[in-house]
Each structure stands twice: as structure tokens, then as C-alpha cells.
Amino acid sequence: MTIQWYPGHMAKARREVATAIRWVDVVLELVDARIPSASRNPVLGELIGDKPRLIVMTRDDLADPDVSRRWIGFFARQGGRAVAVDARSGRGLRGIGGAVRELAAPSVERWKKRGVRNRGVRVLILGIPNVGKSSLINRLAGRSAAKTGDLPGVTRAQQWIRTSEGFELLDTPGILWPKFEDPETGLLLAATGAIKEEILPLEDVAVFLFKRLQLTYPRALAGRYGDLTGEPEDWLEQVGKGRGLLMAGGRVNVAAAAELVCREFRTGRLGRISLEKPPDEAASEGVDKG
């Protein structure tokens, strides 16, 4: 199954980014800490090229902290640099400022040699939809500088924002790639809310979550939904019945049950869960966290 979609505003955003990236010193590439690989847009990698970049793992308050530490180590082994942040509480944000200054130092020095000394460090913020760009910008700016929301596609136009540290941030709309050849990538993105519900049915996403959590966080799954029997495809009926999500005639509202499961995962009601491990751990067993 190939999942294909590419809204017009994303194609436009890609063209704008290709132009803007020439004028910035550092790129902040935002990824979701729960799915650091699936939420990395390969198109952005092509656009960034050899521009200095810092990988910012957002929503770390919802991810397994041990797995996040391992992802930071993985990126370091690949020659990159990454930090994990929680924009809502501000945890981890201090690491961004120092890293940006270090990465921008060669560019700043070149500007000084040209006689430009008061130019702020220009930072381009890139990522997929609903990865927390606006929330991070508001934290860095110390005010509500960018529109925020829980739905993908809230930011539709570029805007420059100055921070208290003297950085000039360029916000851009979230960009997805034209199609997902690997259906699991689409399911991971749907699970975290990065793509709209019209693209993948929530029932499919909820069953995918059941299967992944059964392998990696069975205690968290059982702690939230009790003893689920049979196959994961049957569990929405059991969850719906247990939560009283019934329609006329006593039938379970499976759609409502799927929405419940996805919402509870996205909001952390199942605990701090990571859906991906670093690739160099692919052969290891799943983690069993409560």
C-alpha cells in the first residue's frame, strides 16, 4: 500500500524553503521524539544539504526517556547533533541556544570579515506538520509569536521572529513528502497526528498501535485497557464495550473506540511511549515499560 497525498500549500512551502535556506546560518530540523525516524522528511534532507543543522526532538514529555537518550546517541554516532525538548514546560530548551551558537560560529565569522557585526544568527525551523514548531518558537521567543494548534497545517506562511537571545527564527509550514512507500511510516505519522485522519482510517491506526504496544509496552497497554483477549483486530470492540461506547441496539461504536485509543496515546494517557527505536537496535527485543 502506497499512501499518496501532497496538498498544494506544501509544494509551495518547499519552493519557499529552497529559496530561504540560502540566507540562514543554522537549520533546526524538528522531529517527533516518539518517532524520530518516521518524522524525518527525506525531502528536507535534500533541501538542507550541508547547512549546519540541529535535530530537535520535540514532544519529549510523551516519549520514553530512555529511548530518547538512545536516539541522541544514535544521531551522534551518525555525525549529527540532537537535543530532546518539551516545549510546553521548557525542559531542554537551554541546549538549543548553545548548540545554535556553536553551529553558527563559522557563518558569523564570515559575516564579520565582510564587516557585518550586528547581524543576528538566522535560524530556519523545518519539520513535518504538527511536530510542535509553533510551540517551540513561542518558547524561544518568550511570547506568543507564532500561531499554535493541535491540527496539522496550522502554519501556512513564512514569518521571521526575533528571540531574546538575538536569534532570528524563520518559521515555515510543515512539509510532508509526496507519498509514503512504506505503509508503516504512514501509520506512525498518523498515530502521532502528523497527517489528517482522512488519509488513514483511525481504526487502522488504533489496531497498529495495539500491535506495536503489545510488543513493546504490554504493561502500559494492560494497565490502561485491562485484559484484552484474542487478536488486536478484536480489541476495539472490547475497549469500546469497556468504556461504554455503544450505539443503538447495544452495538459498540468502533469508530469512537478508535478515536479514544489514538487520543489517549497522543496525550500521554498510556504513559511515555516511543514507537521507534534507533536503527542500530532493530535486532534487539522490545522494551516492556509500564
Is 153 within any annotated ligand binding site?
Answer: no
Is 107 within any annotated ligand binding site?
Answer: no
Largest Cα–Cα distance of the chain, in whole Å? Answer: 77
Amino acid (1-letter code) at residue 276: E
Element (H, E) at 203: helix 202-216
Is 112 within any annotated ligand binding site?
Answer: no
Burial 248-262 (b: 16+ CB within 10 A, else e): eeeebbbbbbbbbbb
Residue entry with cell 469508530: 255
Is 142 within any annotated ligand binding site?
Answer: no
Is 274 within any annotated ligand binding site?
Answer: no
Is 284 within any annotated ligand binding site?
Answer: no
How far out from the chain centre does Cα 228 lie? 29
Residue entry with cell 496539522: 152
Is 135 within any annotated ligand binding site?
Answer: yes
Report yes or no: 114 and 156 within 8 Å, Cβ to Cβ. no
Report yes or no: 37 and 63 within 8 Å, Cβ to Cβ. no
**Binding site members for GTP:** 130-135, 174
**Binding site members:** 130-135, 174
